[in-house]
Structure 1
Amino acid sequence: MQNLNLFNLYTDILNKNKIDYLVTGSVASIVYGEPRLTNDIDLILNLFDNQVDTLIAAFPSDLFYCPPREVIKVELRRSLRGHINLIHHETGFKADIYFVENDEFITWAFKHRQNLTLFNSTISLAPPEYVIVKKLEFYKEGNAQKHLTDINGMLLSSKNIIDFEFLNKIIIVKGLNDLWRSVYDKSKDA
């Protein structure tokens, strides 16, 4: 597993600059599930146009690659999957930054986030239901087995904190029921 201090490299800066975020993706699935190697941290930022300069200043060019202001503003306005990367020069550790879309599920995720302390720092973690749904969507897009493995690990380790009633409703709305049933049934056999 990646050194968790590297994850705090990004979240500490976001916390200090009061930029609202969620940790999601593989890092969230590691926290809720089983350890594995990852090359980056996935973050959803609830960033407003007037915070772009704050974001750029928070990740100075002598320490991080941060895209130009114009690129960030274009991605921030994108209605679906606005995305940038931040890269720490010294370690090469990357943050995949996604911007909040106009989506009720993301709004729900921000309201139901888990605030955890790792290495004396607080991180804002997406709820497990959100992580599972996004992993199912990404698997459906690209068939990368790691997403199903992550879900299985989450089901084995965090089953008692997952709201399955809510999760099943979202999965049906998102058209992921067949895939979910297959993954869930296999996890019961593990």
Structure 2
Amino acid sequence: MELYDLLKYLINAFEKLGIQYFITGSMGSIYYGEPRFTNDIDVVVDIDESDVPGLVGSFPEDEFYISEDAIDDAIIHKRQFNIIHPSSGLKIDVIVSKKDEFDNSRFARKHRISPIENTEANLSSPEDVIIMKMKFYQEGESEKHIRDITGMLKVSGDIIDRKYINDWANRLGLQEIWKAIINKL
């Protein structure tokens, strides 16, 4: 299985189940910015306990590893769980929405795109991908997040709402990182 096959599988499952979602992370930064290698898909979902049986049933156990207990725990604690395709080493990081003001904003701003021929999907706005990349940089200082952000600003800078980013950077304590990125450009 290739990454885009997994993406299509994921999109079809969430769409069929009516689960609200958007793709983010490296898939978002690749779409809005510069290509790079990734072996995972990050997706934010708005799910509850009633969605678990359908979700588990959408990923056959002979092809995928998905833990019902991990999903239940992620829903309760508003964390993430994984769906793994062991034979390819690919993985989906499924992040349960915190249903806070920022996540509500991200869901409201998602874009409908066609990342794969004949398939539509929900993708995070470029601004929200950038904000989350800054948060991840703040937590772990991985330079890949800064490279992703600068790539997005170079490729899609004319469509990116910097005021929105600046407002959320101030609210989330990311203003120093945002200023440093802007000064690098």
Q: TM-score range by the shorter chain?
A: over 0.9
Q: Which residue number corresponds to residue 22 of structure 1? A: 22
Query: Residue 166 in 1 paired to residue 164 in 2?
Result: yes
Alpha-carbon contact 1:113-1:125 (below 8 Å) kept: yes
Alignment-mate amino acid for residue 13 of structure 2:
I
Structure 2 counterpart of 1:45: 45
Confirm or deny: 8 A CA contact 1:24 1:43 kept in the other structure.
yes
Per-residue deviation, 1:121: 0.7
Distance 1:71 1:6 in 2: 20
Aligned to 1:182: 180
Residue aligned with 1:91, SS: coil
How many Å apart are 1:83 and its aligned residue?
1.1
Q: Identity of counterpart residues, as a percentage?
A: 35
Q: Flag as ranges the 4+ runs of structure 1 deviating above 6 A.
A: none
Q: Secondary structure at the match of 1:137?
A: helix
Q: Give the whole-Å Cα distance in 2 for the aligned partners of 1:7 and 1:34.
A: 19
Instruction: Check the 8 A contact 1:114/1:125 in 2, yes or no.
Output: yes
Match of residue 137 from structure 1: 135
SS in 2 for 1:43: strand
SS of aligned partner of 1:115: strand
Match of 1:83 in 2: 80
Size of the aligned set, in residue pairs, is: 183
Partner Cα distance (1:26, 1:175) in 2 = 22
Map 1:102-141 onto structure 2 (within 5 A). 102-117=99-114, 118-141=116-139
The amino acid that maps onto 1:186 is: K
CA deviation profile, 1:11-33 (whole Å, cap 9, x unmatched): 22222222211101001000010
Q: TM-score, normalised by structure 2?
A: 0.93
SS in 1 for 2:112: strand
TM-score (norm 1): 0.91
Q: d(CA) in 2 for partners of 1:39 and 1:3? A: 7
Partner of 2:72: 73
Q: CA deviation at 1:89?
A: 3.5
The 5 A counterparts of 1:3-14 are: 3-14=3-14
On the 8 A contact 2:3/2:39 being kept in 1, the answer is no
Q: Return the offset for 1:4.
A: 3.1
Q: 1:151 is matched with which residue?
A: 149
Post-superposition offset of 1:3? 4.8
Kindly tell me: are residues 3 and 86 of structure 1, through their superposed partners in 2, closer, same or farther at Cα, counting changes over 3 Å? closer
Root mean square deviation of aligned Cα: 1.4
Q: Shift of the alpha carbon at 1:70?
A: 2.7
**1: distance between equivalents of 2:109 and 2:70?**
30
Distance in 2, matches of 1:6 and 1:60, equals 13
Unaligned 5+ segments in structure 1 are none
Match of 1:93 in 2: 90
* Secondary structure, counterpart of 1:160 in structure 2: helix
Displacement after TM superposition at 1:77 (Å)? 0.8
Letter in 2 for 1:34: E
Q: Shift of the alpha carbon at 1:37? A: 0.1
Question: Per the alignment, in what secondary structure is the counterpart of residue 42 of structure 1?
Answer: strand
